[in-house]
């Protein structure tokens, strides 16, 4: 079946769902199965009961999260490659982590979807992308709530009080993991640490993960070969789990364990503690950062408690929290307190 035919089928299914939800209530049995149809959405193949199917569709119905035609990366682990052209030989322009969302602009006859996701536009294989009702119902399970900073230099505090110490500051547009709303304050999590921001300066909204751009590191462009190789190696593990105390790049690592294991691959031994890693190498200014350097962050008392690996283009890769795993952020997504060059090149 061509993907255009598939698209028509999913459109018919969506229309049927709307009709089912708007029509008079129907009597169904919990044991009555929806008959599977060969080649259509996997949710039909799962043989949900009519009652379960309508309930799931109703939960997703009307929810768009800013998307007109949503797609969800459906990979077992790792990331879905986003390419410049609809071909496996196309230049890699981004990666969609597992369960991240995109806007599907079009589909080709030979199995590719033209998508946009975050700052990335390109093509992904339809073999690894949920679309139509499947994508909407999956998104309904994945959507998370974030607090988005409306101002630059937003103070993130230890407690819900202006008298409390400032843990860090974040940039306008930065998304913080939402925990709960209090009286005039929003409780959030930043790199796994509970904190508070004023409700006056954030917008709480539902969102889905999106693709990340691939920083281009070219040989001969002022970046040494070893730095290019180290960063490209680190980016392979984007989306993998965060595990406190872990050092496995595939099964789980914490922030310093991730950095430790990446550098170990290149024969550099580092301690498994962000504060200790900050004492290694040579201190540099943020303006001097090169791919492969380390960026450190601290708590309100100035004690270093988080480390990230600079990958170029103003971005870092780091093991952030159990919820987000290994992710890419702006290097100043929170206020850096120290930058260090470990590599001797």
Distance CA 171, CA 287 (A): 18
CB 319 within 8 A of CB 310: no
List the beta bridge partners of residue 321: 325
Query: Where in the sequence numbering do the catalytic residues fall?
Result: 255, 306, 318
CB 178 within 8 A of CB 147: yes
CB 278 within 8 A of CB 308: no
- Residue 198 to residues 118, 145, 162, 203, 213, Cα–Cα distance (Å): 26, 16, 9, 10, 31
Helices (H) and strands (E) in the chain, counts: 7, 23
DSSP class of residue 117 equals E
Its sign, for the CA torsion 213, 218, 222, 227, is positive
Burial 302-320 (b: 16+ CB within 10 A, else e): eebbbbbbbbbeebbbbbb
Residues near 32 by beta carbon (within 8 Å), at least 6 away in sequence: 49, 50, 51
């Amino acid at each position: 079946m061509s993907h255009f035919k598939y698209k028509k089928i999913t459109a018919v299914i969506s229309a049927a769902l709307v009709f089912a939800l708007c029509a008079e209530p129907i009597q169904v049995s919990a044991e009555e199965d929806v008959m599977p149809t060969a080649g259509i959405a996997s949710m039909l193949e799962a043989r949900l009961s009519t009652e379960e199917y309508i309930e799931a569709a109703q939960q997703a119905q009307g929810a768009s999260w800013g998307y007109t035609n949503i797609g969800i990366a459906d990979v077992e682990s790792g990331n879905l490659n986003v390419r410049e052209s609809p071909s496996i030989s196309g230049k890699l322009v981004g990666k969609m982590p597992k369960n991240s969302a995109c806007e599907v602009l079009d589909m080709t006859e030979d199995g590719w979807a033209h998508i946009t996701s975050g700052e990335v536009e390109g093509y992904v294989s339809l073999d690894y992308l949920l679309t139509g009702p499947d994508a909407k119902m999956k998104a309904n399970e994945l959507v998370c709530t974030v607090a988005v900073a409306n101002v630059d230099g937003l103070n993130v505090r230890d407690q819900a009080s202006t008298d409390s110490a400032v843990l860090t500051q974040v940039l306008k547009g930065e998304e913080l993991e939402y925990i709960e709303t209090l009286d005039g304050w929003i409780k959030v999590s930043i790199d796994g640490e509970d904190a508070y921001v004023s409700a006056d300066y954030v917008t709480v909204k539902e969102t889905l993960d999106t693709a990340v751009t691939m920083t281009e590191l070219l040989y001969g462009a002022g970046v040494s070969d070893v730095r290019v190789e180290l960063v490209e190696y680190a980016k392979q593990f984007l989306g993998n789990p965060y595990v406190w105390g872990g050092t496995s790049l595939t099964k789980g690592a914490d922030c310093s364990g991730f950095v430790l294991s990446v550098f170990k691959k290149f024969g550099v031994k580092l301690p498994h503690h962000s504060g200790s890693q900050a004492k290694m190498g040579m201190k540099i200014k943020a303006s001097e950062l090169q791919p492969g350097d380390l960026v450190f962050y601290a708590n309100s008392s100035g004690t270093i408690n988080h480390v990230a690996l600079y990958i170029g283009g103003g971005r870092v890769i780091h093991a952030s929290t159990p919820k987000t795993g290994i992710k890419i952020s702006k290097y100043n997504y929170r206020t850096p307190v120290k930058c260090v060059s470990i590599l001797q090149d």
